[in-house]
Amino acid sequence: MQATINKMEDLRFGKTSNVSLSYYRWNNFPILLIKLRGQIDASNATEIRNRLTDEIVDEPPLVLFDMQAVTMMDSTGIGALALAFNLAKFFGGKIAVCALQHQPSMLFEITNMHKILYIYDTREEFEAAIPQLLELP
């Protein structure tokens, strides 16, 4: 399986970079990789949500949120992911999440996000599931 990165961009909100976006192709299928890091809360969730809206409306049907570096997420962060899910679904896409840390994982369970998103322990698990996510034969 060959994955190539087409575009990488760090987004800075305030003094730290909380999001990096990269687009890559898996066997010619575009995937939007969104790496979140640090704290995702009311101080940055609105800006993150606005940018994600632009990217999901314009780009691939498969979006992966890599949460390995997220140390804390509150309800506004969950709201940003819920919006991303709804947009992707509306435009025929799917949202997956990998590498959830302890606190965000607990929040996903409390809010039932684990029931609507595809969740994988690692990015490798996600990549192994791409054919099923894209409903390939």
pLDDT at 88 over 80: yes
According to DSSP, the residues that pair with 33 across neighbouring strands are 22, 64
Range of weakest confidence among 12-21, 27-36, 107-116: 12-21
Percent of the chain exceeding pLDDT 90 equals 42
| pTM for the whole structure | 0.83
Mean pLDDT of the chain: 82
Mean pLDDT of 47-60: 76
pLDDT band at 102 (very low <50, low <70, confident <90, very high): very high
**Measured CA angle at 88 (ends 102, 70), to 5 deg:** 20
Which residues lie closer than 8 Å to 72 by C-beta, 6 or more apart?
38, 39, 40, 41, 103, 104
The class (CATH top level) of 3-133 is alpha beta
> Dmax of the chain from CA atoms?
46
Confidence check: pLDDT of 76 > 90? yes
